[in-house]
Amino acid sequence: MILLFSLAFIGGGFFHAGFFDVFAEKDPAYELLLKQLGFPESYYEKLTQLHQEHPNWAFLPYQTGLSWEEALEGESGYRINLTPNTVNYPTSYHATDPVEGNITFDFDQNAFVIMSAPNWVQASREAIAYYMDPRNFLNSEEIFQFEYLASNPMIQTLEGVEKILAGTFMAHTYVVKPTLLIQDGFITGIEPDTKKEDFLKLLACEDGKIIQVWNADHSAKADGALIGTGDLVTVSDGELLWDAEELPEDYVEPAHATYTCLIYGDTDGDGTHSKRDYLFFKRHYKGYYLLEEPYVYAADGDMDGSLSNLDRLFVKRAAYGYYPLTQRKVNDSEQKPTRDFALYGADGQTYAECIVALSEEYGISPYMLAVRLRQEQGTEGKSSLISGTYEGFEGYYNYFNFSASGVTEAEIVENGLTYAKENGWDSPVAAIRGGAERIVEKYIAAGQFTLYLQKFNVIKNGVYTLYRHQYMQNLLAARNEAVRTAKAYTELECMDNGYIFYIPIYENMPEDPAPKPVIDGNPNPYLQMLSIAEMETIEPTTSEVPEETTAEDDETTSSQPEDPSVEETETETEPEPTLPRLEPEFERSIFRYDVHVDANVKSITFDAQAIANVIENTTSFGRGTKNARVEGAGEKELSYGENVFTLRVTAGNGAVCVYEVHVFREEPETEPYSEASEEDEKENLH
C-alpha cells in the first residue's frame, strides 16, 4: 500500500504556492508575518533568528486547541512519559510524588520505582513541561522534531541515510545478503550452469564504472557462455583492457580491479559439474596431477580451507548428480566494500538501501526511519528483539520495538516479539518493512506527521485518544531524534534546503518558556528513625523539716535491746529508669509527636537517622546517597511545662522535612526544701 503526501494540504489547511517565496526573503516585517500566521509573541525572537540563519525554512503554526495546563496535566499521567535514571540527567527529571495513586519514588527503600527495564522511571511534571514547550527547541538542531515527515528525494539520499547509520551495526551492512559473496578477490556463490548475462545481473558497482567478464586466459567471455572457475571479472573506468588486438600508441591501461570466479566442485573450469571434475579432484588428491589456484579452492567442497576425504565425497556426489554442492558460505558480518571500484552482489540489499526503498514506496522520510532505527536499536544492535534467536520466538524480529513495553526486560522482549510473530515479521526486512508501514498508517496518516506529535499526541478530535497512542514513552525521544537528523543534514551540507516545520501552539501558554530542570541529588528528606536515646534526672529532695527529739525519746530508743533474730536485709538495686516514648509511635510521614516526662527529668537526647544516610540503593547511581543533613538532634535541656523542639532533614536535592517534638515536663508538687528556706521561716515567726 502506497501513501502519498501532498505539500499543498497539510494539517487540515491549504497555503498559497507563493508562500515559500515570502519565506525566502529577509522580510523586514517578518514579525508581522508571524503574527498573521498565528504565532504568539513569545515565538517571535527565536523564529526571526532562525529565518535569518535559514531563509529557505518555512514555519507554520500547529494550533492544538488545547490549553497549556490541560495538555501538561494529560501528559503527566502515570507511565505516559518516562526518563532514564542515569547520571546523565539530574534527579529533578524524575517524579517523586504519587501519580494517579501510584508511587514513583519508594522513600522507604530510597529508590525510584522502575517503570520499564532497565532504568526508566516516571518523568517529573517539570521535565515534561520543558520538553513539551516548543519554544525551548527553536534552534537549528532541535527544531527538526517539528519537521514534516514526508519524503523529499531531492534532499534525502542514500548517502544521507548511510551517514545517519554510520558507526552502527547497520552501516554499509547487508540486511538482505546477496547471492554472491565477494571477498579477498574471489567471487563465490555462483551456481553451476550460469550464463554470462545472468551472472552480470547479479553484479553491481559504483556509478561510472564498467563491469566486464573474461575467460581465464584474458579473452572476452561471449554472451551465452557459462561462467566457470578461473573466469575473471573486472571493474574499470575505461572500455579497453585485455581484449584489443591492436592498441593505439598512446594507450594507457585503465585503472581496474579484478575478481576471480570460484564455483565449488568445478575443478576443470567449464562452469558445470561433471565426472571430469571428479577425475581432476582424484588426480590432485592422490598427487598425480596437482591443481593450481583457483581450481584447488574449488575442490574444497565443505569450504573448511583444506582438502579431505569428505571433500572427495562432496565433489563425487555433485559430479554424478546425486546432491548439488552448496555454493554460498554464510558470513554474518558481510559488508559492502567501500574502496574504489567496489564490486558487490546487486541482489543484496543494505540497511540504507532498504530504508530508501521503503521511503519511496510509502512517501515517508528515509532520514526519519534511519534515525528511528538508530534510536531504537542503538549502535551495537544487541537487543533480543532483533536477534532472531530468542527462545520461543526464533526467527522473528521487531526493529522498531512495536508493543515492546513492560516492567521487566523479559516482559518487554516477549511482548515485542509476540507482536512480531502475530504480524509475520520473520526476517529483518519483513520487520523493517512492517514497522515503516505502521508508522505511516498508524501515525503519519493519523495526523502525527512530526516527531513531536508522535511523542506528544495533542491532536484534538484526532483518531486516537489524547495523550495516548504515543510512539514511545521516552520523554527525550523527539528531541534526540531531531538532533541526529540535524547532524546528518549538516554533514550532507543541505541544512539550507527548504524544510517545513509545524510548530505547536497551546492556549494560555505561560509568558516565558518552561525552565529546564537542573537540581540533582537524592530526593529523600525523610527520617528512618527518631527516638529518645538518653535522659538526665536530678535527685529528688524532701520539703519536710526534721522533728526535734527529747532526751526521753533518746533514752527509750537507746535502751531497747537488739533482736538477734532480725537479719539485715541487702540493699535493693534501683531499676534502670524507663526512657520516655514518642506519642504516636514514629512513622516517617508523621511530623508531630508528644513526649511526657516527670519533673525530675532535666534533659533528654534525641537520636535521628535519615533514610538516605542508612539505605544506599544502587539505582540511585550514587547521587546524593548518604548526604542528607539532619539538624536538631542531640541533647536538649528541659524547662517545666511544654518544650518544643524541631528536627530538620535536608535531602541531597534540597527537599526539606521538619519533624516537631513537644516535650511536656511535669511541674513539681511543692517547692524543694533547703536550709535557706528554713531560716526564712524562723525569721517570720519572730
Query: Does any domain span residue 552?
Result: no
CA distance 566 to 510: 93
CB 104 within 8 A of CB 121: yes
CA distance 313 to 322: 11
C-alpha cell at 419: 507482536
Which segments in the chain show pLDDT lower than 70? 1-28, 244-245, 331-333, 540-576, 617-626, 670-686
Judgement on whether residues 339 and 238 belong to the same structural domain of the protein: yes
pLDDT digits (tens, 9 = 90+) for 41-60: 999 999 999 999 999 999 99
pLDDT of res. 540: 64
In a domain, residue 600? The reply is yes
pLDDT at position 623, please?
60
- What pLDDT does residue 575 have? 64
Q: Residue 619 sits in which domain range?
A: 521-540+576-686
Instruction: Find the helix or strand (DSSP H, E) in which 112 lies.
Output: strand 111-112
Q: Using alpha carbons, list the distances in angstroms from residue 585 to 391, 580, 581, 589, 592.
A: 52, 12, 8, 11, 11
Q: Is residue 305 part of a domain?
A: yes
DSSP state of 592: E
Q: What was the pLDDT predicted at 248? A: 75
Cell triple for 5: 503526501
Whether residues 432 and 481 fall in one domain:
no
604 with 578: CB under 8 angstroms?
no
Per the CB < 8 A criterion, the answer to whether 91 and 653 are in contact is yes
Give the model's pLDDT for residue 184: 86
Q: Are residues 46 and 84 in the same domain?
A: yes
Can you give the pLDDT at residue 22?
43
Residue 668: asked if its preceding bond is cis (omega within 30°), the reply is no
| Residue 186, helix vs strand vs coil | strand
Q: Could you give the C-alpha distances from 66 to 72, 189, 459, 501, 663, in angstroms and in order?
A: 10, 60, 9, 20, 54
| Close Cβ partners of 550 (under 8 Å, ≥ 6 residues apart) | none
pLDDT at site 252: 81
Closest of 575, 580, 574 to residue 534, by C-alpha? 580
Cα–Cα dist 321/325, whole Å: 10
Residue 613's CATH number: 2.60.40
| CATH number, residue 286 | 1.10.1330.10
C-alpha cell at 332: 554474518
Query: Is 189 in the same domain as 144?
Result: no
CB atoms within 10 A of CB 660: 13
Based on the fold, state whether residues 532 and 638 are members of the same structural domain: yes
Number of H-type helices and E-type strands within the chain: 19, 24
Domain assignment present for residue 565? The answer is no
Do 451 and 145 touch, CB atoms closer than 8 A?
A: yes
Same domain as 660, residue 677: yes
Question: Is 422 domain-assigned?
Answer: yes
Is residue 569 domain-resident?
no
pLDDT of the residue at 241: 77
Q: What's the grid cell of residue 317?
A: 556426489
The count of structural domains within the chain is 4
Helix (H, G, I), strand (E, B) or coil at 335: strand
pLDDT given at position 559: 46
Residue ending a domain, choose from 312, 345, 378: 345
Span 351-382, pLDDT tens digits: 999 999 999 999 999 998 998 999 899 999 99
Decide if 547 is inside a domain: no
